Amino acid sequence: MQIEDYIGNPKINYLYMDNPTHRRRNEELLGGMVIKRRRKKPRKIKLPESQSKIDQFIKIYAINTDKQFKLPYHKKLIFPSISPKFRSSLEFAALQEYDNARGYLKHIFQFNSMDFWNDIPKNQFQKSLYKNLSMEDVFKLEMARYKRGVKYYKDWVDKLNTVPGLIDAVQIPIEYIPDSSQYGKLVHNLGSQNIENYFYQLVEECIKYNLIDCKLIIWDGRFVESYCSKNKNKKLKAFSDTEAGMYKHVSKYKGVGYIDSTIICGYYSLPIYYNVFPGNQNDNIVFRESIKNFMKLNYPQTYILLADSGPYSKKSLKLVKYYKIVPLIYARENIKENVIKVDDRKYINIKYIPDNMRADLKRVMALRYKVEWSFSPAKVSYRADRMINRRMENARINIGKLKCITLLTALTAIKVHRPDLINSPTAFKDYRPEFSVNALFGKSSGVNMP
């Protein structure tokens, strides 16, 4: 039958969806548009106290008769004594009475020893380079720059020359402040090894005050982009930063740079180990190398290690188990052997996990977010997520300074008896109010400020 053979006037029917009869007719003719109605949740009926329950007639026996697993406990913090001079000051009174009082920048340098930098022997070049400034002064300036969230050297030197409060915090004469080009050389000559040694000195001090507990540790890697082009030089067939590598995460290229391999303690999320690798290095190699170096540090015994699915492999699991540590490394979904689902998108290999710990897997694995939380201040507060220079040595220096300022903040918080500021990157950031712009303007004009 063709269209031309049809004789007659077509009849048009209008169906309105706000009419229940039309909606049913539409469903009969065309299948219609089914409106799914939300089912009401059944109300829970409260049973009377006099009614018996089935649990009263059935005895429940524990399947596992071993001693139940308990999370490693954390010791109480040890607060150091405060000098009578600071205890009687208004600054200490404000810190104890007001939660909004977050300390001043000068407290970081007042309560933490920097003698390590004065004991470093200098070669002839460094003696000529550090004329009026010492290595301690340069390190103080860098810690203050991170705290103030200034990214570039030029902007920081300009602030030092225009903001008297910053000079008061670091206690450096304003005439000794170098220009931006000279400042970069001074920072580079601090040396990555010296910064690393000072970092481990801070870790030992944190262990002394129970700020760091190695019983539960968390590993993760963070990508730090180098100050170079993402495209290779056609002639050299390499990136402008020859030591960096192209970083790939979840089948996506993120850029050219380095991997910050960090291990943190599971209680206060403070770093206890770090290392730097090229961005194209495999996570398994980075993880195993980091664990081997970490175990050489002779820290207190570790019982549990948490990590994401990046370094998952039999070699990694066996390596962690070799050091008598329970490896809670996320497994991939497509692995079928000895892998169980703990939570949404969370799988674990139970072959290397004690039986009496399996009931608490979900609770323990939920702590892995802390390592992501510890990485966020680098971008949000310190603005150190991207390098301002190149080469592996500079990457080690930048990452080492970031770890040092994290530990210095925690130590300062415990020394002023404010444990709530241990993980606060914005604490001890401001300079004293008498050095603010309004106060200086009032002093210069002869007006008494309130």
Mean pLDDT of the residues in the chain? 83
Average pLDDT, stretch 10-39?
Answer: 74
**pLDDT band (50, 70, 90) for residue 165:** confident
Question: How do residues 200-257 score in pLDDT, each as one tens digit?
Answer: 999 999 999 999 988 999 999 999 999 888 777 767 677 888 888 888 887 788 889 9
- Give the C-alpha separation, 24 to 367, whole Å: 53
**pLDDT band (50, 70, 90) for residue 5:** low
Residue 446's pLDDT is 47
- Greater model confidence, 51 or 222: 222
Question: Residue 344: is it exposed, middle or buried by C-beta count within 10 angstroms (0-12/13-18/19+)?
Answer: exposed
- Give the C-alpha separation, 221 to 375, whole Å: 9
Question: How do residues 291-345 score in pLDDT, each as one tens digit?
Answer: 999 999 989 889 999 999 889 999 999 999 999 999 999 988 888 778 888 888 8
Locate the DSSP E strands across 295-409: 304-307, 326-331, 339-343, 346-349
Q: What is the DSSP string of 143-158?
A: HHHHHHT--SHHHHHH
- Give the C-alpha separation, 332 to 311, whole Å: 10
Residue 25's pLDDT is 82
pLDDT at 55 over 90: no
What are the residue ranges spanned by the domains of the chain?
84-189+426-445, 192-413
Share of the chain above pLDDT 70, in %: 86
68-98 core/surface letters (b: 16 or more CB in 10 A; e: else): ebeeeeeeeeeeeeeeeeeeeeeebeebeee
- Greater model confidence, 439 or 71: 71
Residue 6's pLDDT is 55
**pLDDT band (50, 70, 90) for residue 140:** very high
| Neighbour tally for 326: CB within 10 Å | 18
- Greater model confidence, 31 or 376: 376
- Greater model confidence, 349 or 291: 291
Average pLDDT, stretch 384-401?
Answer: 91
- Give the C-alpha separation, 389 to 387, whole Å: 5
| Element containing residue 246 per DSSP (H, E) | strand 245-249
369 and 362 in contact (C-beta within 8 Å)? no
**pLDDT band (50, 70, 90) for residue 42:** confident
pLDDT at 447 over 60: no
**pLDDT band (50, 70, 90) for residue 68:** low
Residue 60's pLDDT is 40
Residue 54's pLDDT is 59
- Greater model confidence, 35 or 52: 52
314 and 282 in contact (C-beta within 8 Å)? no
Residue 19's pLDDT is 84
Of 153-157, 297-301, 439-443, where does mean pLDDT reach its minimum? Answer: 439-443
Phi, psi of 126 (to 5 degrees): -70, -35
Residue 362's pLDDT is 84
Beta bridge partners of 271: 264
Residue 101's pLDDT is 87
- Give the C-alpha separation, 279 to 24, whole Å: 62
3-state secondary structure of 261: strand
Statement: the pTM of the whole predicted model exceeds 0.85: no
- CATH code, residues 192-413: 3.30.420.10
Residue 66's pLDDT is 44
- Greater model confidence, 274 or 435: 274
